[in-house]
Structure 1
Amino acid sequence: MSRSLPRFALPFVALSLLAACGDSPETLLGKAQDSLAREDFDQARVEVASALQEDPGNAAMLEVLARAYLGLGDPDGAEGALRRLEQAGGTGSGLSVLKAEIALLRGRPAEALERLGTAEGEDAARVRAEANLALDRREAAIAAFEAGMEQGGGIRLAEAYARFRLQDGQFDAAEAIYRRMVARDAGAYETLVLAGDLAAARGQTDAAIAAFRKVVEAYPDRPAPRVALANQYDIKGDVDAATKAIETARKDLGATPEIEAMRIQLLSEKGEWEAIRTTLQAREAQLEPGSPLSLSYGEALLRLGHAEQARVIFQRASLALPGNPYSRLMLGIAQIETDNPGDAWETLRPLAMSPLAGPQAINAARQAADAVGAPEAAALAARLDPARLKAAQARIEDGARAMARQEWAKAVAIYQPMLSGAGDAEVLRRLALAHMHMGEVESAVGYADRAMAQAPDNPDCIYVAGLVRLEGGMQLEKARQLLRMAAKADPGNAAISRSLAKAKAAEG
């Protein structure tokens, strides 16, 4: 979760004047250093800027100003402060680290490493690790993280390392780093947020809600934890609580992009289609095909009777996201509504025949099958029997829960009986992941290859076929080839990008 500034802030000059009232430059510097330590970067910037009005060539103040700008993600501001610092006679390895972090913020990791040189310390270790990650040098990044942790493990370094482990699915390792963060500063924003993210990653929804509520109480001006809280309420199934949380965030902080995205998602779940259409209509041309906002807008149009317009949106989404079941379902329904039952049956058949299909997919496919006289119509109708449907959906939920909680043996016990014939691509994909985590590499590869055979254009299936080979340490060249294919098919997928980076690092 990224840091964010308060939406409603007084103008900078006004804040500077307020900060300066009655305080000496030395006092303001001390306050700015305290704010910097709390990672309240905007407040630190205001305080030290006020101090600099009285002492514009103070090197200590200029260094605080540069660090505040870096914390705010502003490389231009940081570079300006650094230039003034050098003119004031500032020297030392600290300048190298500042220059390296500016280069990293500008997307130039190789330059960041060059500027770091042999600089040591927690900040140097963090920048070195993040630069190596940006260059796909996984082992070098780990070495830098470990070196920084040995030197004391500051909050920013520890958070970056914990997130690296968390993204890799190494929950216990991330938890161990989190415990060190708690010991160092239990009330830090990063520490509190990581507690929520760890609980969420483990499927511990109530614990995640409690953690994110603490973040919101401690840092009410940050949108990200507000959205995370609403999302966890939504995962729990309490849409009213999620809506209340996001509407409160919207009232307090305004309609930031992340708050609006969550709001639209909740409106969709509640079926408030006219509100979605009204909100997004003016932005239709800017909505990226396959994006969550685009999909919500398409469904709103479909539900409001604009089926042809919705069909176009979902056709584009299905091309952008060939493995996305929701976009295929909505495309199939739109095709039914535009009197194209043959196209609808072709779209919906593979989705509905899956043992993981939900009632909406099954019913839509049944309508299309009836319209074209497909023999599968009777079997689909039978699956809609209330008792049979309830039992099937319970199994689906149990399987998803087992995967989320990393209960791999339980997941295998649930999904294995779902296989029949050539098998379903998604069931096979999940079995591949479960066997991979159980250390059964050959079984994992077998299931992954069967999944890819069933859905050769699905980026998720291609990805898992590469992932199980990579994690199992076998057929590494094949793993790299598959991961490159998956990354090309889904270039915005962070998990695929991380695994491809790991595979490239293993190449050397």
Structure 2
Amino acid sequence: MTRAMRTRLALALFLTLSACGESPADRIARARQEIAGMELAAARVDLVAALAEQGDDPATLRLLADVQLRLGDGEGAAATADRLERAGATPADLMPIRAEAALLRGNPDAALALLGSAASSHAERVRAAALLAKEDASGALAALRRGVAVGADPLLLRDYARFLIGAGDFDGAASQIAALSRLQPDGFDALMLGADLAARRGRHAEAHGLLEKAAARYPKVPDALIARATVFDLEGKLDEAVAMTNRAATIAPDDPRVRDLKVQFAAMKGDWSTVRSLLAREERTLDPLSANGLSYAEAMLRTGHPEQARALFQRALTRSPNNPFSRLMLAEAQLATGDARAAHATVVPLASSVMAEQRELELAAKAAEAAGLPEATAYRARLADARRGMVKALSAEGNAALVREDWPKAVDVFSRLAQQGEDAEVLKRLALALSHQGRADEAIRTADRARALRPDDPDTSYMAGLVRVRAGRDVPAAIAMLQQAVQAAPDNVIFRQALARYHLREAS
């Protein structure tokens, strides 16, 4: 029996079974309950079955189109729009559905063309998403603002809050989440976004509380449990994170997000065989810079395949030269393949920093010794230096202060670290903390020192621009610095959205 024949038989069986027992009205009522519970895939099945029995009812078709769009099913939504048109809907009425379907199918230009000059909240939301797909963050932000001015729409407020979180505007995001909560008290998006924002601010108890509420209100979707596993990970509670991932797996065992967490936590536990087994089927399609790509490369190294690991980490570092993990692991792989001089050259930028941790220094010392280089003595001396413990503790303390937005503490810690020597990473963090304390002049001077140390690093250009534009100082130059950061790292969402936010504010 051919695959096509099996498909036709399965479809016939499905339609036969769907014709028995439940009425279309029963299925539609259940679909509405499933939509309320965020069981969108189940709702799609019920709506398709109801339509197969009762014919193309416009109200049911619209409900199906909404579900398909939220599921990211552009092909299905486009087909449903065609059925709606045959059922009597006007092209103008269907335009937002078709535009969003085109966007989901990977064609933002077609989406924008379909939208034309439409200015509804739905149209502006789709326009913003299309512009973001074209990397026009300024245009996207303007569209989101216009959409909010037209009227409060839950999905628009969701997308606006997500944009602001990505841009680092946490206060602005909180305002949009509050508006969303007023429209939909205890709604799925408001709870999930509120938890995300709380976690980013280091308010882990608040995040867990919101996610517990979401898990109880939407028990058949894994999102809240997945998010809780991530928050536990942020807190350093690995066992709790694994347990929460296992709970999510009981709801959605095939969800790729669950698989990704399993990979992450297996890597953290050093279970490299499990990492390889989970990712082996995807080896050819893994993005070398993704978390899974880097974990797989390390698994290859840890399970006795250093040449393959070296190639994978080289690809990752070539695409992102400032990625410290890729650099460290490439050096380790180079050393494992017997190329000590290459390993030393690779790890030097990390080992020379005052914030270098024991792992970087140990690897640098091993590589220098294996290559017969005199630098080995200095690395060993630094390892033995009692200040290493102090610097490591201060680094952790300072980074924790940044996460919880304790700016006075962050200024104190990074100021002490800066006394250990000129280091771009320390100065960059100190500049950010000074900026948030309102000490604009010191922040600008500190950011400029970091930029002078690493003039080609987009991170230092971004920080030098950010502290200026936050203070309203030399704004044209600040915007230029942000643009330079975006040009150097076009895939960095934070850079792009910050540029959009401040550039548009300056233009308005």
Q: How many residues align?
A: 495
Question: Residues 166-219 of structure 1, C-alpha deviation per residue, up to 9 Å, x if partnerless?
Answer: 222222332233233334333432122113201111112233234334434444
Residue type at the aligned position of 1:492: D
Which segment is superposed worse, 31-40 or 52-61? 31-40
Which segment is superposed worse, 108-117 or 315-324? 108-117
Residue 484 (structure 2) pairs with residue 498 (structure 1): no
Any idea what SS the aligned residue of 2:89 has?
coil
Equivalent residue, structure 1, for 2:83: 84
In the TM superposition, residue 56 of structure 1 has moved relative to its aligned partner by 2.0
Once residues 463 and 394 of structure 2 are traced to their aligned partners in structure 1, the CA distance between those partners, rounded to angstroms, is: 23
Residue type at the aligned position of 1:436: S
Once residues 189 and 256 of structure 2 are traced to their aligned partners in structure 1, the CA distance between those partners, rounded to angstroms, is: 21
Q: Which runs of 4+ in 1 moved over 6 A?
A: 11-20
1:50 to 1:328, Cα distance in 2 relative to 1, 3 A = closer
Question: Residues 351-407 of structure 1, C-alpha deviation per residue, up to 9 Å, x if partnerless?
Answer: 123232222112222333445566655554354359644332221111101111222
In the TM superposition, residue 67 of structure 1 has moved relative to its aligned partner by 1.9
Give the alignment of 1:47-446 within 5 angstroms: 47-91=46-90, 94-109=93-108, 112=111, 115-116=114-115, 122-131=121-130, 133-134=132-133, 135-136=136-137, 137-138=139-140, 140-148=142-150, 151=151, 153-281=152-280, 283-371=282-370, 377-378=376-377, 380-385=379-384, 388-420=387-419, 423-446=422-445
| Unaligned segments of structure 2, at least 5 residues | 1-9
1:67 to 1:436, Cα distance in 2 relative to 1, 3 A = same
TM-score (normalised: structure 1): 0.84
Identity %: 38
Question: Residues 325-375 of structure 1, C-alpha deviation per residue, up to 9 Å, x if partnerless?
Answer: 112222223333334333333322331232322221122223334455666
Once residues 35 and 280 of structure 1 are traced to their aligned partners in structure 2, the CA distance between those partners, rounded to angstroms, is: 32
1:281 to 1:45, Cα distance in 2 relative to 1, 3 A = closer
Any idea what SS the aligned residue of 2:94 has?
helix
Once residues 49 and 312 of structure 2 are traced to their aligned partners in structure 1, the CA distance between those partners, rounded to angstroms, is: 52
TM-score (normalised: structure 2): 0.84
Residue type at the aligned position of 1:244: A
CA contact (8 A) 2:166 2:493 kept: no
Once residues 408 and 475 of structure 1 are traced to their aligned partners in structure 2, the CA distance between those partners, rounded to angstroms, is: 24
Once residues 219 and 458 of structure 1 are traced to their aligned partners in structure 2, the CA distance between those partners, rounded to angstroms, is: 44
1:338 to 1:241, Cα distance in 2 relative to 1, 3 A = same
In the TM superposition, residue 302 of structure 1 has moved relative to its aligned partner by 2.9
Any idea what SS the aligned residue of 1:42 has?
helix
In the TM superposition, residue 18 of structure 1 has moved relative to its aligned partner by 7.2
CA contact (8 A) 1:19 1:46 kept: no
CA contact (8 A) 1:129 1:144 kept: no
| Unaligned segments of structure 1, at least 5 residues | 1-10
Once residues 127 and 338 of structure 2 are traced to their aligned partners in structure 1, the CA distance between those partners, rounded to angstroms, is: 58
CA contact (8 A) 2:122 2:147 kept: no
Residue type at the aligned position of 1:146: V
CA contact (8 A) 2:148 2:156 kept: no
Once residues 444 and 15 of structure 2 are traced to their aligned partners in structure 1, the CA distance between those partners, rounded to angstroms, is: 61
CA contact (8 A) 2:354 2:421 kept: no
Which segment is superposed worse, 329-338 or 210-219? 210-219
Residue type at the aligned position of 2:162: R
Once residues 418 and 465 of structure 1 are traced to their aligned partners in structure 2, the CA distance between those partners, rounded to angstroms, is: 19
Question: Residues 219-241 of structure 1, C-alpha deviation per residue, up to 9 Å, x if partnerless?
Answer: 45545444322222222222222
1:26 to 1:227, Cα distance in 2 relative to 1, 3 A = closer
Residue type at the aligned position of 1:354: S
RMSD (CA atoms)? 3.5
CA contact (8 A) 2:37 2:218 kept: no
Residue type at the aligned position of 2:76: G
